[in-house]
Amino acid sequence: MTRRAIAFAFLAFFPLLSTAQSLPLKAKPDAPDGPPFVSAKAWIAVDGATGKVLGGDSQAEARPMASTSKIMTAWIVLKLAADDAKVFDETITYSERAAKTVGSSAKLNAGEKVSVRELLYGLLLPSGNDAAVAFAEHFGSRFGKDADGEPLLRFVNEMNRRAKELGLKEMSYRDPNGLSPQNVSSVRDLATLAREALKDEAFRKYVSTRHYEGSITDSGGNKRKAVWTNTNKLLDIEGYEGVKTGTTTPAGNCLVASCKRGEDRVIVVVLGSTSADGRYIDARNLFRWAWHEKASGK
């Protein structure tokens, strides 16, 4: 081979050599054990009875939580009903603001009336952003005071007060439904709140309901039905108890889920899964691993 041919061959190889040398080093090999790989940016699995953390990733990172915010909204209303059962029968009249709330909806119109008992299904099954506003407007005046006396803001203040009372350091609310990207929580705080809420029999009933027909009274006094279907696809599988889904662009796809086997319960929270179906795959994989961890006594 002539010197010129050798030079051309070297120049042709040199870019490939440079590219190879610039590649990052390979990561360590995957371990043969440990929790499954998931798409979620943060997750946790806890024992529902003891609160023991079975495993997690980015457990204390505050992230947008989307409609999982409604766990707190519902829990506050149910706390009031636990103190006075007549709360369930109170009538909520939808305001213009509630009716015009964007996103997932219970689909009531301004001026329509619904009982608290019924609207809790509209809040927790179709994830009604409008229902959350209606609850905050209806109940907010019963909580504390702020500068302008706005009931919705008082309700949000109560949500934050309750979070602080439970020691939830990464949880913070700016609205009752999760539309605000400033509604943030860590997965561990959401797991703690879910575990607390699941102690309430009424909460368990609502979040585990797959389908419900609500009774609405329109502004003319006529009755109509509202059909609400639970957004949580895990309820199609035996053992799962629901809790709450959540989806916004800042939050990604979120899920707080509970599963029972006999008297044992595991709670899984995933925040920031890459797709709507991906959050269920993430959760099912984590539940399977968590049950194994519990069985092995780890």
* CA 90 – CA 202 distance, rounded (Å): 16
Asked if residue 269 lies in contact with residue 190, where contact means CB atoms within 8 angstroms, the answer is yes
Which of 41, 69, 70, 208 is catalytic? The answer is 70
Asked if residue 217 lies in contact with residue 238, where contact means CB atoms within 8 angstroms, the answer is no
Indicate if 95 belongs to the active site: no
Asked if residue 52 lies in contact with residue 46, where contact means CB atoms within 8 angstroms, the answer is yes
* CA 118 – CA 147 distance, rounded (Å): 32
Which of 69, 104, 127, 185 is catalytic? The answer is 127
Which of 41, 67, 104, 258 is catalytic? The answer is 67
* CA 88 – CA 288 distance, rounded (Å): 37
Asked if residue 115 lies in contact with residue 91, where contact means CB atoms within 8 angstroms, the answer is yes
Asked if residue 83 lies in contact with residue 212, where contact means CB atoms within 8 angstroms, the answer is no
With 0-12 CB in 10 A as exposed, 13-18 as middle and 19+ as buried, what is 39? middle
Indicate if 70 belongs to the active site: yes
CA angle 208, 211, 216 (to 5 degrees): 115
Indicate if 219 belongs to the active site: no
* 244 has binding-site annotation: yes
Active site residues: 67, 70, 127
Residue set of the binding site: 244
Residue set of the binding site for substrate: 244
